[in-house]
Structure 1
Amino acid sequence: MSRIAVTGGAGRLGRSVVRALAEAGHEVVSIDRTSAEGLPARQLDLDLLDAAATRQAFARIAPDAVVHLAAIAVPGSRPDFEIFDINTRLLWSVLEGALAAGAGALLVASSPTVIGYGAPSGWEPAYLPLDEAHPVAPWNGYATSKAAIEEIVRMAVRRDGHRARFGVFRPCYVIAPEEWAGAPTQQGHTVAERLADPALSAVALFNYLDARDAGDFVTAWLDHAEDVPNGAVFFVGAPDALVAAPTAEALATHVPETAGAAAALPGTAAVFSSARAERLLGWRARRTWRTELDAPPSRPDPLRSAEAPHA
């Protein structure tokens, strides 16, 4: 059993990550500015922007590994410069505090938005499905903060890779377990509403991820951190797209700049490939909207009974 500190552990993603780690037998400490009822972890209220307090807290916790999820998570929710400043300072504080406390592994949450889709000046994918080798082109403060976070992790590998393992994952649009039953998602819509109106998910290229599958990914990374390249980046998403129509058709209709590359996507395949996570970690999302949604979308779905292919 290892002691794992999870920043942002009381959040939409964090709660499922904490539960997955606890179910795997780890001792978990959640570090957040709020608490979550019933969370299987010791919960610590801490402002991670206070670098000195963070260092002291990590010294007391003495974690074997740290999972860093805490961040301003919604693009546009604050001015770009504030989001960039807060998200990058949070990582610096956690990175230095974790290393000073002797943590042997640090996994950091980034975002698919680093790819640059949705840019007002236009964006076209070099190819589809998108994988970790695709060029990044962030265009807002949130995405730029995540690109900077990835670069900070690469710096840490060069500076501290002899004493710790580092990883980055880009979780797709997170859907918490209660949201399948009708609770609002991060943007305020229900999952059923997003399926009924594909334009709501088109802005994210129909990507999504069950938070519990994200928790399973974190567990898999911690189990294999010594076996994968230090600092490796992973897309982490469901194997299908959050849309009832075939993916290529939905992209051509709602994201026409992707139409040329979309032809490479068969059936209901996801736009973002998690093949690297499957190849290196043995992880694959097990939950899709077709298996988890309590109420069917208002639009008939002729593909609902078909097995979603792996992308």
Structure 2
Amino acid sequence: MRNGTVITEFILLGFPVIQGLQTPLFIAILLIYILTLTGNGLIIAIVWAVPRLQIPMYFFLCNLSFLEIWYTTTVIPKLLETFVVARTVICISCCLLQAFFHFFLGTTEFFILTIMSFDRYLAICKPLHYPTIMTSKLCLQLALSSWVVGFTTVFRQMMLLSQLPFCGNNVINHFYCDVGPILKAACIDTSILELLGVLATVLVIPGSLLFNMISYIYILFTILQIPSATGCQKTFSTCASYLTVVCLLYGAILFMYLRPTAHSSFKINKVMSVLNTILTPLLNPFIYTIRNKEVKGALRKAMTCPKTGHAK
């Protein structure tokens, strides 16, 4: 037990080195947040409205878009506050709640991306068996399992974290409540909690990444065997979108949490967190739709139909 005053709130430091840029950064991040909500919301609305898009691939994409909406909402509003007020305060309970939802949604995203890679593997490598394997019931079970496993994985650790006493320095050198800085403020030894966190990270991140890579290796070999150049290009184009998201997400997370100095380099983690929590959710709708003729066609039709009706 360390000596020190018991604290009841944390102070989010944000980005103190950007004095004078608060206003333009506030506007930029607010626009990014609005675009993220709009882009991911449009994907959900289009898939819901167009019957021919209600297939497993787009069902999982809707799950990812729904997740991204809430994932950014757990972080960006508080980040915007750090640009407006001189001292961004967050109560301990609120901080722990933010950390829980951030890691719960982040963990669930790994599972959903893994399921999406499995879905593409079946569709491309086992096309004849795909309709009988990837049924509506299985899709629902896989999506629900992702959310449940993500919740239980993080919930158990957050329950232990919520029981820790906090004292001493209450300044978190981050723009959201990351687990590393929270553990630094604990009054007791947190080595067991850190070990549990590392074990969960190793099981979830490299494990899901390995499954993704195996799926895409099989997909790549299958694509190379397609005799038609047009069919090969179309299939590769679809998978390239998924692979781009996987590389962006896993690259940032592996750098943040699985390098040797992960818990000591908070400043570097903050920079990488911008990619993970702000830019990737914004890029996802564009990455998944820019190469997808079906979604672009449905969106174009939705935008032109009201005008046609008005002209008539």
Q: TM-score range by the shorter chain?
A: under 0.3
Q: Which protein has greater RCO, CA pairs closer than 8 Å, 6+ apart?
A: 2
TM-score, normalised relative to structure 1: 0.26
After TM superposition, the score normalised by the length of structure 2 is: 0.26
Question: Counting helix residues as a fraction of each chain, which structure ranks higher?
Answer: 2
Which has more radius of gyration? 2
